[in-house]
Amino acid sequence: MNKLNRYSATLTQDTTLPGAQAMLHGIGLTEEDMNKAQVGIASAGYEGNTCNMHLNDLAKAIKAGVKDNELVGLIFNTIGVSDGMSNGTEGMRFSLQSRDIIADSIETVVSAQWYDAVITVMGCDKNMPGALMAMGRLNRPSIMVYGGTIDAGHHNGKDLDIISAFEALGQKIAGDITPEEFKEVVKHACPGSGACGGMYTANTMSSAIEALGMSLPYSSSNPAVSKVKQDECKAVGKAIRTLLEKNILPKDIMTEKAFENAMTIIMALGGSTNAVLHLIAIAKAVDVKLTIDDFQRISDRTPFIADLKPSGKYLMKDLHQVGGIPAVMKYLLNEGFLHGDCLTVTGKTVAENLADVPELAADQQIIVPVTSPIKATGHLQILYGNLAAEGSVAKITGKEGLKFSGPAKVFNTEFDLNDSVLSGKIQKGDVVVIRYQGPKGAPGMPEMLKPTSLIMGAGLGKSVALITDGRFSGGTHGFVVGHITPEAQNGGLIGLLKDGDIITIDAERRVLNAELSDEEIASRRAAWQQPAWRATKGTLAKYIKNVSSASEGCVTDEL
């Protein structure tokens, strides 16, 4: 029997399980195959999203490479939902919970089918953390393949992407573009397969997971439609065999220092606030204690050095052309910001992987020197105060300033706010508050991309702040604070705010306060009653019942 065989021998070798062996023959395994290790290939492929529409084809390329390495590759599917499509609709309440459904589904299939190893091929925002959570729970040799970033759209000589479409609505309302121009931007923003092209959540998570050591070098920046992505898929089979032979497991790779590498790359690149939630959830799956305060610690020591959308100019496909994420990691390692001794899915360390990686192109303009950064510390700041007793996450690149104070304009849904922006009721100096958008209150902690895009598109990005107990898309930029805990539904102060209350956001002092007396707060709290749950059956009701707070990663599997 092949010495690699472990879990799968449970089915292939136990003569008291003739049904299992009959089924395995039925799917085409030969007697020889019965002695080979089995690799579950989990694909989040489905037709309904640019990030995912090509993944099943990549899964077939992965399977071919697995077979070439004397292993049995067996493809299965998990689900996915599109953030780009659901943002701005009630459908966005299903996005974050899809992460945990993906984790549960991969854990379920690999456990029930007794696979020896796992390769996941993932695309949109929540697919990747869901896959990594499953890998951590299973702790079997595992590699994630990122489906890859989308190419730029083009119109009128300009590079376009998904955020161009979201922000075009605000520009049209402000009269900066015509309705015809708006239509053309929408039609040309997404040219085909691939995940949203800026340093949004998908590219943030793929970069963080490569820095974490759980995908092959270049996986995060190899474009979706490229020969290098195809080559990567064919190479994964050899890599998973190495992990099986050396018995290298996710818990050997996803260590505290590896999570510091992941947080560092997120800060350097200006990545999505969602990474805070997701890395905490992934860390819990491998029993690593990671808190929101660890993000502040890494932010304090990591300069923001990437001119990447949403706050900058370039896309991941541009970064790929000047060296990709490995070149950025090599630069950060050489400057002392990364741990080089962390093990990765190549079977080698970070430093060994990067030794032969070409440096960033000499004439590139995307990554600036750490000695002259865009911002001396990270763009993610953890704020506390009477509005965030258990923490909150601010995305502040410094381009909109570091302190904001103004009167609250309070909304219980994003749709009411959107109407107010569209009808010009939001004024310069306002602090927009969108509450009851938390994991239990919404439920599902939706991303507030449409509101922030409307505000940015209407030219109010530097003069209006937005705070919420919901989340932000990676495409969000401006003066924004999300993940406010405790959420309104759980009695958080954000739920007691009224129009006109003065809100202070101070990114330097890391404070988020409502300027209200203790007596006023006590009076309002005495009058507050918890609103009815917005879901009483089905998947969202289960989510309400099980989900932890945003500061705890919104996990659903803690007893």
Ligand X SMILES: CC[C@H](C)C(=O)C(=O)O
Q: Would you tell me which residues interact with Mg ion (CB under 5 A)?
A: 83, 125, 201, 447, 473
Q: Is 300 annotated as a binding residue?
A: no
- Residues 188-217 close enough to bind ligand X by CB under 6 A: 196, 200-201
Choose the contact partner of 130 out of ligand X, Mg ion, none; CB within 5 to 8 A by kind.
none
Q: Is 83 annotated as a binding residue?
A: yes
How does 494-519 read in b/e, with b if 16+ C-beta sit within 10 Å?
A: bbbbeeebebbbbbeebbbbbebeee
Q: Which is nearer to ligand X, 142 or 473 (CB)?
A: 473
Q: How many CA atoms lie within 13 A of 165 on its CB side?
A: 20
Residue type, 287: D
* 130 sits near ligand X (criterion: CB under 6 A): no
Q: How many CA atoms lie within 13 A of 510 on its CB side?
A: 19
User: Which of residues 87, 97, 193, 549 is near ligand X by CB under 6 A?
Assistant: 87
The one-character DSSP state at 550 is G
At its nearest, how many Å lie between ligand X and the CB of residue 83? 3
Interface mask (CB under 6 A) for ligand X, residues 223-262, using x and -? ----------------------------------------
User: Which of residues 46, 83, 171, 394 is near ligand X by CB under 6 A?
Assistant: 83
Q: Is 409 annotated as a binding residue?
A: no
Q: Is 126 annotated as a binding residue?
A: yes
Check 206, 219, 299, 473 and give the catalytic one.
Answer: 473
Q: How far, in Å, CA of 396 to CA of 459, rounded?
A: 17
Q: How far, in Å, CA of 201 to CA of 472, rounded?
A: 10
* 162 sits near ligand X (criterion: CB under 6 A): yes
* 475 sits near ligand X (criterion: CB under 6 A): yes
Q: Give catalytic status of residue 473 as yes or no.
A: yes
Q: Is 447 annotated as a binding residue?
A: yes
Report CA-CA distances (Å) from 425 to 412, 418, 421, 436, 458: 16, 10, 6, 21, 12
* 141 sits near ligand X (criterion: CB under 6 A): no
Residue type, 405: S
* 52 sits near ligand X (criterion: CB under 6 A): no
Q: Which residues have a Cβ under 8 Å from the Cβ of 31 and sit 6 or more positions away?
A: none
How does 195-223 read in b/e, with b if 16+ C-beta sit within 10 Å?
A: bbbbbbbbbbbbbbbbbbbbbbbbbbbbb
Q: Which is nearer to ligand X, 6 or 320 (CB)?
A: 320
Q: Which is nearer to ligand X, 274 or 302 (CB)?
A: 274
At its nearest, how many Å lie between Mg ion and the CB of residue 449? 7
Q: How far, in Å, CA of 273 to CA of 256, rounded?
A: 20
Query: Are 102 and 127 in contact, with CB atoms under 8 Å apart?
Result: yes
Q: How many CA atoms lie within 13 A of 477 on its CB side?
A: 25
Q: Which is nearer to ligand X, 201 or 264 (CB)?
A: 201
* 337 sits near ligand X (criterion: CB under 6 A): no
Q: How far, in Å, CA of 412 to CA of 287, rounded?
A: 36
User: Which of residues 100, 107, 116, 125 is near ligand X by CB under 6 A?
Assistant: 125
Choose the contact partner of 318 out of ligand X, Mg ion, none; CB within 5 to 8 A by kind.
none
At its nearest, how many Å lie between ligand X and the CB of residue 542? 23
The one-character DSSP state at 532 is P
Q: How far, in Å, CA of 147 to CA of 296, rounded?
A: 30
At its nearest, how many Å lie between Mg ion and the CB of residue 513? 28
Choose the contact partner of 436 out of ligand X, Mg ion, none; CB within 5 to 8 A by kind.
none
- Residues 430-469 close enough to bind ligand X by CB under 6 A: 447, 449
* 50 sits near ligand X (criterion: CB under 6 A): no
User: Which of residues 44, 163, 350, 507 is near ligand X by CB under 6 A?
Assistant: 163
Closest to 123 measured CA to CA, from 236, 24, 231, 46: 46
* 272 sits near ligand X (criterion: CB under 6 A): yes
Q: How far, in Å, CA of 505 to CA of 385, rounded?
A: 9
Site size for ligand X (CB under 6 A): 16
Q: How many Cβ atoms sit within 10 Å of the Cβ of residue 559?
A: 3
At its nearest, how many Å lie between ligand X and the CB of residue 125? 5
In residues, how long is the chain?
559
Q: Binding site membership for Mg(2+): which residues?
A: 83, 125-126, 447
Which residues are known catalytic residues? 473
Q: Binding site membership: which residues?
A: 51, 83, 125-126, 447
Where does this chain bind ligand X (CB under 6 A)?
Answer: 83-84, 87, 125, 162-163, 196, 200-201, 272, 274, 447, 449, 473-475
